[in-house]
Amino acid sequence: MPTPSLAALPIRRLTLHDLSSCADLSEDRGWPREEHKWGFLLTAGKGYGIDDPDGGLVAACVVTEYGSWERSSLGAIGMVLVAGRHARQGVGRRLMRHVVSLMDTTPLTLYATPFGRPLYEELGFKMTGRSEMLRGHFAPGGPECRVATRAAVAEDLPAMLRLDQEVFGADRTSLITRLPSFADQLRVAEEDGRIIGYTAAWPNMDTHVVGPLIARDTETAMALIASLAARTHRPLRTDIDVRHEELLSWARARGLAPVTVNAVMTYGITDLPGDWRRRFAPLTVAAG
Ligand SMILES: CC(C)(COP(=O)(O)OP(=O)(O)OC[C@H]1O[C@@H](n2cnc3c(N)ncnc32)[C@H](O)[C@@H]1OP(=O)(O)O)[C@@H](O)C(=O)NCCC(=O)NCCS
């Protein structure tokens, strides 16, 4: 039987059964396998992919929706990947068009690598900001921090969700409630019994990714990062909005080296909702 053309191969929903094929696809494009992250995204979000008749996946991506269960107010697209052997043949464009049309009028956002950006621009996405990825072993030191932090407990969840919605600008309950099992650490910053910030460190390959990072101010963000770093021996990785210059300089001085800058893009809205001043880092660039 002749092999069907790439354009005729159906796009289907991915499930957790596709986890290792998704990780293979990451590896094929020189990305880390990131199985823990794929597992999280395929359960908290919706994966879409194209099967390769020769085995594995031709392409994949994940859409994570925020808002109430009957109506999404924001969709985040991530993990857009096309196998190297099928690159530059229109598959990425077709998969993205499919997802954008499924999302109908829901505003969309994504973090674009330099490779993905031309495609997203062609589809009508506009760059609204940038984020810098940093990685390295955190070196403690510097002036003593006055912000109190502690491990989050179950009773903190309602206050964390309220703060998160205010700052993120959309309801992320379905993601945040997964953090206690997904992350190795979940910590809050507190003042007079009130939660003024929270963060998590989740395992990704040999690193701990810091995110989300939501904090009243830069000092609170610093305290939260330092408190995570004090409880892991792994290098930290995080993606900080470049407008947070003070936090970026501090993180660089504490040993986190710049890796790359990604473009934050939106579709259907001119800017992201919420309060960027208190939103320092996403949970993952793949989901916002
Ligand atoms: C980015 C990616 C998904 C594009 O998929 P693709 O199927 O190869 O892209 P398409 O053939 O549909 O190309 C669509 C357009 O994107 C742009 N594009 C794609 N690959 C490009 C490249 N290597 N260099 C410059 N532009 C490129 C072009 O404008 C292209 O249109 P054209 O071929 O008519 O000029 C794919 O290259 C990939 O998986 N890259 C590695 C992972 C990655 O960076 N993903 C993006 C995450 S944000």
pLDDT in tens, 136-187: 999 988 777 889 999 999 999 999 999 999 999 999 999 999 999 999 999 9
Task: Using the predicted structure, report yes or no on whether residue 69 has a pLDDT greater than 60.
Answer: yes
CA 167 to chain centroid, in Å, comes to: 16
Structure tokens at 141: 């030191």
In angstroms, what is the C-alpha Rg of the chain?
19
Q: Is 89 in the pocket of ligand 1 (CB under 6 A)?
A: yes
User: For residue 53, is the peptide bond before it cis, meaning its omega torsion is within 30 degrees of 0?
Assistant: no
**Region 64-77 average pLDDT:** 92
Q: How far apart are CA 21 and CA 260, in angstroms?
A: 26
What percent of the chain has a predicted confidence (pLDDT) above 90? Answer: 94
User: In this predicted structure, what is the pLDDT of residue 3?
Assistant: 63
Answer for the pair 236, 229: CB distance below 8 angstroms, yes or no: yes
User: In this predicted structure, what is the pLDDT of residue 260?
Assistant: 96
User: What beta strand segments (E) does 156-220 contain?
Assistant: 185-191, 194-204, 207-215
Q: Is 87 in the pocket of ligand 1 (CB under 6 A)?
A: yes
Nearest atom in ligand 1 to 29's CA: 41
What percent of the chain has a predicted confidence (pLDDT) above 70? Answer: 99
Amino acid identity, residue 143? Answer: P
| 116 Cα to the center of ligand 1, angstroms | 6
Confidence tier at 4 by pLDDT (50, 70, 90): confident
Nearest atom in ligand 1 to 112's CA: 48
Residue nearest ligand 1's atom 7 by CA = 92
Collect all residues with Cβ–Cβ distance below 8 Å to 159 and sequence separation of at least 6.
Answer: 194, 195
Average pLDDT of the chain is: 96
User: In this predicted structure, what is the pLDDT of residue 257?
Assistant: 98
Domains of the chain: 6-106 (3.40.630.30), 134-259 (3.40.630.30)
Q: Is 82 in the pocket of ligand 1 (CB under 6 A)?
A: yes
- Helix residue spans in 136-244 (DSSP H): 157-168, 173-176, 179-182, 218-229
b (16+ CB within 10 A) / e for 177-198: eebeebbebbbbbbeeeebbbb
Residue 144 φ then ψ, to 5°: -65, 140
Taking CA atoms, 230 is separated from 2, 185, 223, in Å, by: 58, 11, 11
User: In this predicted structure, what is the pLDDT of residue 245?
Assistant: 98
Q: How far apart are CA 279 and CA 111, in angstroms?
A: 15
Q: Is 85 in the pocket of ligand 1 (CB under 6 A)?
A: no
Structure tokens at 288: 């916002």
Q: Is 63 in the pocket of ligand 1 (CB under 6 A)?
A: no
Confidence tier at 1 by pLDDT (50, 70, 90): low
Of 27, 48, 62, 82, the residue with max ligand 1 atoms within 8 A of its CB, to mutate for a pocket test, comes to: 82
Task: Using the predicted structure, report yes or no on whether residue 220 has a pLDDT greater than 90.
Answer: yes
Nearest atom in ligand 1 to 111's CA: 48
User: In this predicted structure, what is the pLDDT of residue 183?
Assistant: 98
- pTM listed for this prediction: 0.95
Nearest atom in ligand 1 to 95's CA: 12
User: In this predicted structure, what is the pLDDT of residue 71?
Assistant: 87
Neighbours of 231 (CB within 10 A): 12
Of 27, 61, 88, 127, the residue with max ligand 1 atoms within 8 A of its CB, to mutate for a pocket test, comes to: 88
Confidence tier at 72 by pLDDT (50, 70, 90): very high
Neighbours of 98 (CB within 10 A): 14
Q: Is 163 in the pocket of ligand 1 (CB under 6 A)?
A: no
Q: Is 211 in the pocket of ligand 1 (CB under 6 A)?
A: no
Nearest atom in ligand 1 to 122's CA: 29
Q: Which residue has the higher pLDDT, 201 or 1?
A: 201
Q: Is 79 in the pocket of ligand 1 (CB under 6 A)?
A: no
Structure tokens at 192: 């007079």
